[in-house]
Structure 1
């Protein structure tokens, strides 16, 4: 018997050890498969490094830099060698197979043509660099907007979930009151309808959160797993400078700088096309060997613009320059219009937030509490209580929408002006 008890104790200890090992493995597995969380700073950093569109524009910068090397490179010389038999047509001449011609030619651009080529290539670098900057700034603002949009949708989801749980509870209480005969049956029908509508809104809000996360992941890159969470909140405490200050900063917009760089490129290209009517010359040197004579020659070949005066390329380059100047004028008007429009939306959203925070939210909450108390004491029916609940829900949703519109208007101006208004600090 004692021996049997010892074996039982050992078996019990082994079982305990196995259970502890199993629990530890479950904890480790849960930690390994925990859903990763990202802040907005992390999202922006990953997008800037891995977004394919940024890599496309960086490759264009490399190509523009390579074009400068091409513009500075001299053309290769040409070596020529010919040989063959010689036959004299005059009496007494001796035929031979030792005649040959050897020559070398070096094409050279005029300095004005060479400088124009280099100017075009260097201006293309500026255009490519500013294109990357504009694209990166646009990507950052889009990531910010998508990040805050997900936070907004999650706030809607939390609101919808709370409403759904509350209306389910109300429905259960109404059902009980109907069953004991304290309330008419139509109150249960109304409560059922409201609960079903809340469930529909809850499921829709869940889908919208997944949709927003999918769009954000598409902006950032494939490094983000499909299942992730976000850490942060809407920076509604930020504010914009006055509109006059924003107007003064429009000329520094990277979009306008990019177009101005493109204009300089077009001007350099127009000069290049004009200079290419007489691009340069070719230096020639050679030796001609006859059976009885060796001749050394040196010379120069210059193209003469008789037939092709490059009228077409020059006209095409001039048209490109006019187009770039027109695009600049149009873009200046567009940026001014969009900045002022976004600023008005910002002011409207700011006023709405103030109205909500200064009383509307509290009033809706107070009305709901009064209606709930009146319903509990039998002074009001279920319809009044549900109407108060619906009013509070609508006010809360409008408040959340105003918060996002406030941030989105600031992000629009940030993208247009090209500098950070909603500063993101590492967390």
Structure 2
């Protein structure tokens, strides 16, 4: 089910209200610009580099320690009391090796940090694109609402100025003139409010694009096609597979599992190997070469506290995953319902709803000036024109917002 005609008219009218002489741009071009220039993107890119550096660090082997010593070797023969002296020196290398499997576990944990950083980057890009689209559609709606409010306000202002200049005779014409003047003031305030909303949307959108708040911005006419959402089961399946927050929870559970395995591995101590060489020269020349191995005995410390803490954090991660899954299902169901309700409401309206109200308002103005239409009918038609524009915009923006929320939750596009 599609509603291109009604929405196309909504955007065709935007061409009549371009402000500041800015060159109109498309919503997609704004999204691409934001994704290329938004400063916070560099933060997430740097976070990926930090995680990659952490993996490199996790895979590094500890550097060996070298000990060099020099001294004097004093030798006394107890039988002859002969004394001899000579230089002595020693060299020793100490290299510590982790227990087998420990290094790979640390690298696996660091790899999950990289995946989380990459997921955070992708999530921010998707959220930024969604935010730009939301504000862009609000800007388009604000442009149309401003145009309609200003159009009706100018009619009343023009009519009020003409009637007051005529100095109408009698109470009824004079009171009618005052009613029109009061309506002009009220509608002028509504037009001002609409312009303020338009400016606020433009300011926020410029900020997302890295532009100055007062930068002129005009959006190009676009056809907005709102298709009913797919079946709820399909949306839930897509959300379970692609949702950024849920995928992050899955990675967290996997990472906590690696932490448990690492804590168990750390029950076994590191092994230290010490090759050495020692040489001294007196009456004789002595050289000693050997290798030593040092390994702590795991008698008193079996790393039980760290293992229990890692298991508890794994349980917490699993519980948070379950809670995230339930929250995701609720959010998907709610947004799908909102989107379906708005699209069903839009489907009830004829394709020329706004056009018919616009023509009726213009026709009422013409007939009232000719005296062929009572004031009550004229005023009601003008106000209903503005009310109909607001009603259509509210439903359209509600549908757009719900669709964008669904796209964020399911990690995909529902535009087609």
TM-score (norm 1): 0.82
8 Å CA contact 1:100, 1:288 repeated in 2:
yes
2:192 paired with 1:203: yes
Match of 2:344 in 1: 351
Match of 1:10 in 2: none
Rounded Cα–Cα distance in structure 2 between residues aligned with 1:64 and 1:269: 17
User: What is the CA-CA distance between 1:158 and the residue it aligns to?
Assistant: 1.0
Match of 1:5 in 2: none
Matching of residues 59-78 of structure 1 within 5 Å: 59-78=46-65
Match of 2:176 among 180, 187, 204: 187
Match of 2:396 in 1: 403
Rounded Cα–Cα distance in structure 2 between residues aligned with 1:181 and 1:318: 90
8 Å CA contact 1:57, 1:128 repeated in 2:
yes
Q: Residues 299 and 223 (structure 1 numbering): CA distance in 2 closer, same or farther, change over 3 Å?
A: farther
User: What is the CA-CA distance between 1:93 and the residue it aligns to?
Assistant: 6.2
Match of 2:259 in 1: 269
8 Å CA contact 2:226, 2:399 repeated in 1:
no
Deviations 1:381-417 (A, max 9, x none): 4234212321221122111111111111110000110
Rounded Cα–Cα distance in structure 1 between residues aligned with 2:330 and 2:274: 61
Match of 1:175 in 2: 164
Rounded Cα–Cα distance in structure 2 between residues aligned with 1:199 and 1:139: 35
8 Å CA contact 2:229, 2:340 repeated in 1:
no
Rounded Cα–Cα distance in structure 1 between residues aligned with 2:250 and 2:401: 28
Match of 2:25 in 1: 38
Rounded Cα–Cα distance in structure 2 between residues aligned with 1:288 and 1:99: 8
Deviations 1:300-353 (A, max 9, x none): 111333454333433332233222222211111111111111111112211221
Matching of residues 7-26 of structure 1 within 5 Å: none
8 Å CA contact 1:236, 1:403 repeated in 2:
no
Rounded Cα–Cα distance in structure 2 between residues aligned with 1:202 and 1:370: 21
Match of 2:277 in 1: 287
User: What is the CA-CA distance between 1:224 and the residue it aligns to?
Assistant: 9.1
Rounded Cα–Cα distance in structure 2 between residues aligned with 1:365 and 1:346: 27
Q: Alignment partner of 2:219: what SS?
A: strand
Q: Alignment partner of 1:230: what SS?
A: coil
Q: Alignment partner of 2:161: what SS?
A: helix
Rounded Cα–Cα distance in structure 2 between residues aligned with 1:51 and 1:321: 36
Match of 1:154 in 2: 143
Q: Alignment partner of 2:342: what SS?
A: helix
Higher mean alpha-carbon deviation, 217-226 vs 311-320, is at 217-226
User: What is the CA-CA distance between 1:360 and the residue it aligns to?
Assistant: 5.9
Structure 1 runs of 4+ aligned residues shifted over 6 Å read none
Matching of residues 27-426 of structure 1 within 5 Å: 35-87=22-74, 91=78, 92=81, 94=83, 96=85, 98-176=87-165, 178-179=167-168, 183-222=172-211, 226-233=215-222, 235-255=224-244, 256-292=246-282, 293-357=286-350, 361=354, 375-376=368-369, 378=371, 381-422=374-415
Q: Alignment partner of 1:221: what SS?
A: coil
Q: Alignment partner of 1:115: what SS?
A: helix
Q: Alignment partner of 2:132: what SS?
A: helix
User: What is the CA-CA distance between 1:74 and the residue it aligns to?
Assistant: 2.0
Q: Residues 177 and 352 (structure 1 numbering): CA distance in 2 closer, same or farther, change over 3 Å?
A: farther
Q: Alignment partner of 2:215: what SS?
A: coil
Q: Alignment partner of 1:249: what SS?
A: helix
Deviations 1:174-198 (A, max 9, x none): 3245535594322222212111112
Q: Residues 379 and 213 (structure 1 numbering): CA distance in 2 closer, same or farther, change over 3 Å?
A: closer
Gapped regions of structure 2 (runs ≥ 5): 1-19
Rounded Cα–Cα distance in structure 2 between residues aligned with 1:49 and 1:369: 45
